[in-house]
């Protein structure tokens, strides 16, 4: 039984295919280098720029029933925050602030005490010694200091959104300039 010969590639065709491949690789390499040099500053931002706390009706009802909500930063960046709602209208009166004053250990955080309507700084471990500082429901510290706050907005789906990447220092400089 005779065997048919397959398509054979002569040396001229092989050289042309190889040359074309090298030229394409070279063009891609030049393009990548050009893009890397011409793009300027590169800002890598992974994840959401804000935190979706949920539907305003559900969240405001929970705060009315059990007090302000502590959200732990599961990314490990120690950006734990407290979400507070003041007033009867779920569309307004939202506040978000750090769960601890600047300089306190991560093991210290504010806990709401409904009997005195204050946040009290408590420790979740025996190793951490927390300052004797309290904070009212609007984020005013008993020491007169300032707590970091975050802008809160209601989106088109009536969800509470907290801008967790807000930088008050940079924002105030931009507003002045």
- Residue 121: CATH number of its domain: 2.102.10.10
Judged by average pLDDT, the poorest of 9-13, 44-48, 62-66, 98-102 is 44-48
Residue 95 lies in a domain: yes
State which of 43-52, 82-91, 124-133, 165-174 shows the largest mean pLDDT.
82-91
**pTM of this prediction?**
0.65
Residue 1 lies in a domain: no
Residues 6 or more apart whose Cβ sits within 8 Å of residue 69: 53, 59, 62, 63, 82, 83
Mean pLDDT of the chain: 83
Secondary structure (3-state) at 107 = coil
Q: How confident is the model at residue 146, as a pLDDT?
A: 78
Query: Same domain for 118 and 32?
Result: no
Q: Domain range for residue 113?
A: 51-167
Residue 100 lies in a domain: yes
Query: Same domain for 81 and 141?
Result: yes
Burial label, 68 (beta-carbon count in 10 A; 0-12, 13-18, 19+): buried
Specify which residues 152 forms β-bridges with: 162
Going by pLDDT thresholds of 50, 70 and 90, the confidence category of residue 124 is confident
Nearest to 164 by CA among 147, 146, 142, 149: 149
Tell me how crowded residue 152 is: count the other CB atoms within 10 A of its CB. 22
pLDDT of 58 > 90? The answer is: yes
Q: Which residue has the tokens 């969240």?
A: 59
Residue 161 lies in a domain: yes
How many alpha carbons lie under 13 Å from residue 65 in its C-beta half-sphere? 6
Residue-wise pLDDT for 67-105, tens only, equals 999 988 866 667 889 999 998 898 999 999 999 888 888
Query: Same domain for 156 and 104?
Result: yes
Query: Same domain for 23 and 104?
Result: no
- Which letter does DSSP use for residue 46 in this model? -
Query: Same domain for 12 and 96?
Result: no
Query: Same domain for 33 and 58?
Result: no
Q: How many domains does the chain have?
A: 2
């Amino acid at each position: 039984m005779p065997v048919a010969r397959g398509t054979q590639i002569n040396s001229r065709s092989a050289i042309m295919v190889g040359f074309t491949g090298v030229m394409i690789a070279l063009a891609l390499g030049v393009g990548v280098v050009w893009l890397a040099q011409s793009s300027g500053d590169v800002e890598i931002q992974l994840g959401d720029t804000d935190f979706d706390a949920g539907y305003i009706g559900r969240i405001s009802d929970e705060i009315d029933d059990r007090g302000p909500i502590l959200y732990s930063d599961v990314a490990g960046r120690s950006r734990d925050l407290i979400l507070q709602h003041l007033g009867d209208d779920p569309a307004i009166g939202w506040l978000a602030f750090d769960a601890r004053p600047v300089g306190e250990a991560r093991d210290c955080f504010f806990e709401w005490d409904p009997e005195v309507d204050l946040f009290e700084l408590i420790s979740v471990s025996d190793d951490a010694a927390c300052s004797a500082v309290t904070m009212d429901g609007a984020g005013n510290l008993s020491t007169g200091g300032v707590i970091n706050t975050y802008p809160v907005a209601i989106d088109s789906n009536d969800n509470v959104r907290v801008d967790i990447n807000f930088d008050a220092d940079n924002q105030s400089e931009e507003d002045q300039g």
